[in-house]
């Protein structure tokens, strides 16, 4: 008997029929003798709809209440799945993040997990209950407020629960069962990897690969939890992400990923002043920091290259526009990234530029990390750049 933590994303639970189909899959595993903890996301686009709803009521929804609202999405999925399983005679019980003992920091809408104390879950597992946990949420350990972990956070919940329950396996169940050399929905020739090491997966997800939440890979690496991405209908279609995958020192490109929304914002002050002004306005509007990918500055001019989820990038830009030294912001940029073993000290960036030139795509900037090369392009050139760079894989 194995204890398996399985994450089911919003796509797999988007309709009542799909919820029933997932319930049947889980029942099959249980009938085979395994113990299952399912970590679920909100149905389909529920989280986006809840965010839209919030902005219809308030131009600046306060983040505490946003978390109260958003945490509801996962509660809908968990209770429906539990009803379906109970109808199938599986003794299932659902639990919120807070009931599951997911303790977080206080930072609303992007809280980090501080500790997991799964006391109730362990007691229910001892009684042989099948457990369903609402992903993406927890409770702040100081104030006991409901928090969410940032968009895509259900993957992170699954990794944290696998660790604290000492699960035998942590599986991320998907309609696309693995990590490919590019998003197979976009590049039909993309090939799947049987296994990848944490570093490559971390780099690809940081630079936009949608298959997993970046923070989940980060946590899995830290805790040394292997993650298996698995196809919902064909368990043979998988990619395992773990630490001890032998990837020899080749410079071959492994995968192409892309961040859709990058904004380049310009200010008329030096770097330190710009960052402190921006920080002040974010704080005033109770907004989280966006991801800053790079900065460029002189004594009286600074450019910030920032990214964030679709809806929050607009809101963040709206807030920093109020700062005194704000000049302009162009949010029509994207990055396209080639992840490889060693990207430094090679001519790979030149090859990438040549490849883009053939398709008339202009790269405005390159971001180098030890395992990747990313080019900044205009959003309109994003798709062309992805397929051009995939030819180098």
The C-alpha atoms of residue 108 and residue 282 are separated, in whole angstroms, by: 13
Query: Minimum distance from CB of 77 to Mg ion (Å)?
Result: 9
137: contact with ligand ASP by CB under 6 A: no
Stretch that binds ligand ASP, among 12-20, 151-159, 268-276, 287-295 (CB under 6 A): 151-159
Write 184-191 long-range contacts (CB < 8 A, 24+).
186/383, 186/386, 186/387, 187/256, 187/386, 187/387, 187/390, 189/390, 190/390, 191/393
Q: Is 151 in the site for ligand ASP (CB under 6 A)?
A: yes
CB of residue 3 vs ligand ASP: minimum separation in angstroms? Answer: 22
Residue 247 contacts residue 197 (beta carbons within 8 Å) = yes
Using alpha carbons, select from 168, 105, 163, 162 the residue that is nearest to residue 138. 105
Q: Which of 97, 110, 113, 136 binds ligand ASP (CB under 6 A)?
A: 136
CB of 88 to Mg ion, least distance (A): 25
138: contact with ligand ASP by CB under 6 A: no
Among residue numbers 45 through 74, which ones bind ligand ASP (CB under 6 A)?
Answer: 47, 73
Position 174 contacts ligand ASP (CB under 6 A): no
Query: Which residues in this chain contact Mg ion in the complex, by CB under 5 A?
Result: 10, 41-42, 47
| Between 97 and 101, CB nearer to ligand ASP | 97
Q: Cβ of residue 366: shortest distance to Mg ion, in angstroms?
A: 32
Q: What is the size of the binding site for ligand ASP (CB under 6 A)?
A: 12
Partner touching 262 among ligand ASP, Mg ion, none, CB below 5 to 8 Å by kind: none
**Torsions phi, psi for 145 (to 5 deg):** -100, 150
**Calpha distance 137→108 (Å, rounded):** 10
Q: Is the dihedral of CA 372, 377, 379, 380 positive or negative?
A: negative
Answer with the entry of Mg ion, ligand ASP, none that 152 interacts with (C-beta below 5 to 8 A by kind): ligand ASP
> How far is residue 137's CA from residue 134's CA, in Å, rounded to a whole number?
7
Give the interface segment with ligand ASP, choosing from 40-48, 217-225, 254-262, 269-277 (CB under 6 A). 40-48
Residue 264 binding partner per list Mg ion, ligand ASP, none, with a CB distance cut-off of 5 to 8 Å that depends on partner kind? none
Rounded Cα–Cα distance for residues 53 and 72 (Å): 13
Question: Which structure tokens are listed for 288?
Answer: 């989280």
- Are 193 and 29 a contacting pair, CB within 8 Å? no
Binding mask 261-300 for ligand ASP (x = CB under 6 A): ----------------------------------------
Q: Which is nearer to Mg ion, 10 or 290 (CB)?
A: 10
Smallest gap from Cβ 362 to ligand ASP, in A, equals 33
Q: How far is the CB of 26 from ligand ASP (least distance, A)?
A: 18
Residues in 2-21 that interact with ligand ASP by CB under 6 A: 9-10
Least separation in angstroms between CB 174 and Mg ion: 13
Q: How far is the CB of 284 from Mg ion (least distance, A)?
A: 29
Span interacting with ligand ASP, options 59-67, 149-157, 216-224, 261-269, rule CB under 6 A: 149-157
- Residue 135 contact among ligand ASP, Mg ion, none, beta carbon within 5 to 8 Å by kind: ligand ASP
101 binds, among ligand ASP, Mg ion, none (CB under 5 to 8 A by kind): none
CB-based burial label for 155 (10 Å; 0-12, 13-18, 19+): buried
152 in contact with ligand ASP (CB under 6 A): yes
Q: Does 208 bind ligand ASP (CB under 6 A)?
A: no
Contact residues toward ligand ASP (CB under 6 A) are 9-10, 41-42, 47, 73, 135-136, 151-154
């Amino acid at each position: 008997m194995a204890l398996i933590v399985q994450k089911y994303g919003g796509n797999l639970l988007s309709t009542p029929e799909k919820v029933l189909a997932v319930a049947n899959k889980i029942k099959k595993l249980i009938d085979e003798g395994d113990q299952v903890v399912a970590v679920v996301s909100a149905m389909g686009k529920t989280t986006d709809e809840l965010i839209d709803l919030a902005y219809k009521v308030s131009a600046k929804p306060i983040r505490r209440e946003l978390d109260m609202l958003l945490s509801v999405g996962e509660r809908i999925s968990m209770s429906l799945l539990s009803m379906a399983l109970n109808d199938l005679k599986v003794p299932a019980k659902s639990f919120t993040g807070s009931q599951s003992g997911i303790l977080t920091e206080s930072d609303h809408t992007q809280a980090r997990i501080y500790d997991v104390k799964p006391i109730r879950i362990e007691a229910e597992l001892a009684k042989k209950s099948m457990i369903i946990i609402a992903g993406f949420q927890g409770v702040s350990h100081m104030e006991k407020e409901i928090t969410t972990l940032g968009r895509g956070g259900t993957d992170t919940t699954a990794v944290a629960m696998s660790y604290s329950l000492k699960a035998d396996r942590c599986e991320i169940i998907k309609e696309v069962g693995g990590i490919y050399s590019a998003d197979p929905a976009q590049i039909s020739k993309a090939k799947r990897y049987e296994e990848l090491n944490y570093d490559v997966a971390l780099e690809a997800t940081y630079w936009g690969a949608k298959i997993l939440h970046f923070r989940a890979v980060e946590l899995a690496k830290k805790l040394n939890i292997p993650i298996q991405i698995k196809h919902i209908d064909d368990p043979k279609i998988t990619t395992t992400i773990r630490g001890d995958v032998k990837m020899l020192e080749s410079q071959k490109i492994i995968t192409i990923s892309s961040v859709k929304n990058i904004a380049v914002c310009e200010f008329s002050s030096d770097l330190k002043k710009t960052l402190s002004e921006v920080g002040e306005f974010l704080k005033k509007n109770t907004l989280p920091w966006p991801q800053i990918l790079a900065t460029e500055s002189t004594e009286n001019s600074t450019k910030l290259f920032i990214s964030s989820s679709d809806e929050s990038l607009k809101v963040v830009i709206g807030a920093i526009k109020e700062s005194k030294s704000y000049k302009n912001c162009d949010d029509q940029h994207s990055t396209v990234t080639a992840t490889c073993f060693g990207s430094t000290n090679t001519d790979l960036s030149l090859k990438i530029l040549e490849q883009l030139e053939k398709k008339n795509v202009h790269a405005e900037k390159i971001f180098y990390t030890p395992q990747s090369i990313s080019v900044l392009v205009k959003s309109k050139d994003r798709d062309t750049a992805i397929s051009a760079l995939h030819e180098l894989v």
